[in-house]
Structures are given as structure tokens and as C-alpha cells.
């Protein structure tokens, strides 16, 4: 039973990490598409450049956040009547800084 719950917790950790990677990958794909469209039209406005810079800064911040120490904690509760599927669970703690006002991909100014 313990091994089963440990496997479940491991899967939860991997899902949390993979969801961040998927979000960054999606952001990079969207940025690539925007760049292709701007290259094709050859009509780039200053507001386009500002938006691209903001997008790059958000992605850069998301990648930097992944490089930080893990925000994932393992919660374990001791009990004589252990219900392991309820005692061990995984959650991700969001780190908030002045440069990161929301838990989404953040904009970082240079």
C-alpha cells in the first residue's frame, strides 16, 4: 500500500513539473508563430516590438522560475489508523515576488 501511494505521489510531482514545461513550450510556440507572421508581413510596428519584448520577458521569467529550488512539498501525516491515500499528497507552492504579481507567466522588466 505504501509503495502504491508513493508511486501516486511521484506521478503527481512529475505532472506538476511537466505542466510548467508544457506552459513554457506553448508560449515559445506562440512566440515563434507571431515572429513568422511579422516576418511574412514585413510591416512591423513599434507596438508589435513592445508586445514581443513582453512575451520574451514572460517566457524568460518562467524559465528562470523553473531553475529556482523546487516549490513542491511532500506532506506526510502520522497516524495509528493510516489511510495512506489521504495522508500523503503533493502540492506546488507558488513563489510570489515583487516582479511576479500573478502566478501566470510573468513579465520581467529589464
Taking a C-beta distance cutoff of 8 angstroms, is the pair 86, 63 a contact? no
Residue 9 region, left (φ>0) first, then alpha (ψ -120 to 50), else beta? Answer: alpha
Q: Which three cell numbers stand for residue 95?
A: 513563489
Per residue in 62-95, pLDDT tens? 888 887 877 777 777 665 666 656 667 777 777 7
What's the confidence (pLDDT) of residue 96?
63
pLDDT band, residue 25 (cuts 50/70/90): very high
Residue boundaries of the structural domains of the chain: 2-92
Per residue in 46-56, pLDDT tens? 888 899 999 99
Of 42, 66, 40, 44, the residue nearest 53 (C-alpha): 44
More confident residue, 76 or 6: 6
pLDDT, average across residues 94-102: 58
More confident residue, 107 or 86: 86
What's the confidence (pLDDT) of residue 43?
78
Counting other chains too, the contacts that 29-38 makes at CB distance below 8 Å and 24 or more residues apart are 30/55, 31/55, 31/56, 31/59
More confident residue, 2 or 50: 50
Rounded mean pLDDT of the chain? 78
Amino acid at each position: 500500500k505504501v509503495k502504491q501511494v508513493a508511486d501516486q505521489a511521484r506521478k503527481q510531482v512529475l505532472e506538476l513539473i511537466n505542466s510548467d514545461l508544457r506552459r513554457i513550450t506553448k508560449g515559445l510556440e506562440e512566440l515563434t508563430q507571431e515572429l513568422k507572421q511579422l516576418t511574412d508581413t514585413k510591416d512591423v510596428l513599434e507596438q508589435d516590438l513592445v508586445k514581443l519584448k513582453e512575451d520574451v520577458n514572460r517566457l524568460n521569467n518562467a524559465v528562470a522560475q523553473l531553475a529556482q529550488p523546487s516549490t513542491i512539498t511532500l506532506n506526510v501525516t502520522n497516524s495509528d489508523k493510516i489511510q495512506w491515500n489521504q495522508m500523503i499528497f503533493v502540492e506546488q507552492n507558488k513563489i510570489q515576488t515583487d516582479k511576479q504579481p500573478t502566478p501566470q507567466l510573468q513579465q520581467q522588466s529589464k
